Amino acid sequence: MKIKNGKIQIKNYDLQYWVLQGVILFLGIITIYSFTKLGLTVEKHNPIFDSHYYRVGQMFESFLRFNINFKKYFSTMITSFLSTFGLAFLSTILGLLIGGVLALFSARNLSNKWLSDVIRGSSAAVRAVPTFLIVLLCISIYGMTGTSAVIGMTFHSTVFFVKVLGETFEEVEEGTLEGIKASGGSWLNLIHAVVIPSSINKIVAWSAFRLEINFGVAVIMGPFAAVKNSLGSDLKKAVSTYNFTEIFFTIGVIFITMYVLQYLADRLKRKAKID
């Protein structure tokens, strides 16, 4: 806080302030320019709005009509849910196992600086690539199968755990590690006796958080990677056939699952005292 001409100068007009203003102005210009180039016109719209469903009230009534075979639908829904959740769970577990091992070597208190920098830099480079691009690359190798989705999601889960678990392992008290080393303990003894036990709560919390993310990605991977019997594929099929009842229930299942996963992740994160 500065005083200029007898008045308190609240804002500090330094280089950092003007750089921030420049960035905000640049983003504003890009946003306005993008809207002018998107071709948003009322002539180009979904044909559904030319039908009798264009009225909001009638559309909601179509959502709640429930003109489906519930027994057959719920059987299919359970299969699709288990397939989608299994895809998210498998990629999370594989990412945790691979990323957890790499995180041990990325933590500076457990590894040498050169190896730590290499792993951190490599994981940061992979995190910069969107999951869908990695899946697209896997599709060119393995085809439109669930394998491509699992590998692509596992890649991002792995680098996620490398970052968060590497930072978690670095929070282990140095005095405890030095005590194990002074008593003749090996590197594996450090991991087994100190690092894992002291970090287990945070490992579980971060795993639940990543599972929540992967479930949302798994829903999108259904139509993107042509994963059969998934919530995303069912939703795409329902939208293409204008089956509003199936759209309603499928979105409901996705919403409830995401809410439960987020609730569990938040509870575990609070328990582990993660900021």
pLDDT, tens digit, for every residue of 164-195? 998 888 887 777 777 777 777 677 877 887 88
Convert the pLDDT of each residue in 1-18 to its tens digit: 555 555 555 556 667 777
Domain spanning 67-271: which superfamily? MetI-like (1.10.3720.10)
**Residue 135 pLDDT:** 82
Which single residue is written with the structure tokens 């190896």?
115
Which of 232, 225, 218 lies closest to 143 in space, CA to CA?
A: 225
70: confidence class by pLDDT, cuts 50, 70, 90: low
**Residue 97 pLDDT:** 93
Domain ranges for the chain:
67-271
- pTM here? 0.71
End-to-end C-alpha distance for the chain, whole angstroms: 30
Q: Which helix (H) or strand (E) holds 196?
A: helix 196-224
The string of DSSP letters for 67-105 reads -S-HHHHHHHHHHHHHHHHHHHHHHHHHHHHHHHHHHHH
Pick the range with the lowest mean pLDDT from 50-54, 107-111, 270-274: 50-54
Angle at 167 between CA 163 and CA 171, to 5 degrees: 170
Secondary structure of residue 9 in the 3-state scheme? strand
Which of 191, 189, 177 lies closest to 104 in space, CA to CA?
A: 191
Distance CA 69, CA 46 (A): 28
Question: Which has more confidence, 187 or 121?
Answer: 121
Mean pLDDT score of the chain, rounded to an integer?
Answer: 77
